[in-house]
């Protein structure tokens, strides 16, 4: 646990450190446990945001193994579980690991914004041979249409790493880049060839429109290639990028 805006919560001092303090500053309670892998993924993200927001809210860490009474009081069914307390009472909550951008949106919709004058922390340098560095390299190669480099970067990606799921989705999406597609072909094949060309030219929104048209025409084309194409777009645009949100909703409507 790090940061001047992060503190441990216990049942003994809950009234003063959370309820009373929340009358002047919102408190985000993070219910976690040492054995919980997802908690260890979300926790550092919450702590970083708490520091970046410069005191706009405080992050209270609740160890559910030690503070079972509090976990019961908040009806915690699974962790990580986060509850925003403001004005002396819970006002909103979310469960599970969510992306950094979603945490910021959660705070923003509840009126919590960074304090004026706070400067975001400089991004840490990424070891190019680390899982994060390899994924970054693969994404850059995919955007350039270099499948060989992307494949090499993703080879033997550690399954236990938090980024493994994203790496798997990228590997799946590379099938779209390598597919044999004739731009002159009618229907779905022509739409996907057009989308690939647009994607490689970084015309991301145009590419997603072309892919949605392909999904609408035949979502099962070549074993679901249109869906793989869209997932690749989301990765290259950035899964936290709000531009993806309307396309994600439209894709879900077409698929299900």
- pLDDT score of 149: 95
Phi-psi region of 122 (alpha: psi -120 to 50; beta: other; left: phi over 0): beta
* pLDDT tens column, 189-239: 999 999 999 999 989 999 999 999 999 999 999 999 999 999 999 999 887
Bond into 136 cis (ω within 30): no
| Inter-axis angle of helices 187-200 and 164-178, nearest 10 | 120
Q: How far apart are CA 201 and CA 71, in angstroms?
A: 50
CB 94 within 8 A of CB 82: yes
CB 162 within 8 A of CB 44: no
- pLDDT score of 99: 86
Q: How far apart are CA 31 and CA 33, in angstroms?
A: 7
* Catalytic residue list contains 39: yes
Domain extents in the chain: 6-109, 131-255
- pLDDT score of 80: 94
pLDDT band of residue 116 (cuts 50, 70, 90) is low
Q: Choose, from 39, 82, 233, 244, the residue flagged as catalytic.
A: 39
* pLDDT tens column, 150-188: 999 999 999 999 899 999 999 999 999 999 999 999 999
* pLDDT tens column, 74-115: 999 999 999 999 999 999 999 998 888 899 999 999 999 887
Q: How far apart are CA 231 and CA 138, in angstroms?
A: 15
Q: Is 201 exposed, middle or buried (0-12, 13-18, 19+ CB in 10 A)?
A: exposed
Q: Is 213 exposed, middle or buried (0-12, 13-18, 19+ CB in 10 A)?
A: middle
- pLDDT score of 123: 56
Closest to 30 (Cα-Cα) out of 40, 21, 22, 20 = 40
* Catalytic residue list contains 244: no
- pLDDT score of 220: 94
Q: How far apart are CA 5 and CA 26, in angstroms?
A: 11
Report residue 45 as tokens. 């993200």
Question: pTM of the predicted model, to two decimals?
Answer: 0.55
Closest to 102 (Cα-Cα) out of 234, 237, 240, 233 = 240
Q: Which residues contact 48 (CB under 8 A, 6 or more apart)?
A: 121
* pLDDT tens column, 25-72: 999 999 999 999 899 989 999 999 998 898 899 999 999 999 999 999
The fold for domain 6-109 equals Glutaredoxin (3.40.30)
């Amino acid at each position: 646990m790090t940061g001047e805006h992060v503190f441990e919560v216990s049942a003994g001092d809950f009234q003063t450190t959370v309820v009373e303090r929340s009358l002047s500053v919102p408190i985000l309670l993070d219910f976690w446990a040492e054995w919980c892998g997802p908690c260890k993924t979300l926790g550092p993200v919450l702590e970083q945001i708490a520091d970046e927001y410069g005191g706009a809210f405080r992050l209270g860490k609740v160890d559910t193994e030690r503070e079972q009474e509090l976990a019961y009081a908040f009806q915690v069914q699974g962790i990580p579980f986060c509850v925003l307390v403001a004005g002396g009472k819970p006002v909103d909550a979310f469960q599970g690991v969510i992306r950094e951008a979603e945490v910021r949106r959660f705070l923003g919709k509840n009126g919590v914004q960074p304090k004026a004058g706070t400067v975001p922390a400089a991004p840490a340098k990424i070891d190019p041979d680390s899982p994060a560095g390899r994924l970054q390299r693969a994404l850059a190669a995919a955007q350039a249409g270099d499948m060989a480099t992307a494949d090499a970067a993703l080879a033997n990606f550690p399954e236990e790493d938090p980024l493994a799921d994203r790496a798997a989705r990228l590997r799946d999406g590379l099938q779209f880049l390598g597919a044999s597609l004739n731009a002159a072909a009618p229907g779905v094949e022509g739409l996907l060839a057009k989308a690939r060309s647009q994607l490689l030219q970084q015309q991301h929104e145009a590419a997603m429109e072309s892919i949605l048209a392909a999904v609408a025409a035949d979502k099962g084309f070549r074993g679901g290639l249109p869906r793989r194409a869209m997932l690749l777009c989301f990765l290259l645009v950035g899964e936290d990028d709000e531009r993806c949100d309307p396309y994600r909703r439209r894709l879900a409507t077409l698929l299900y």
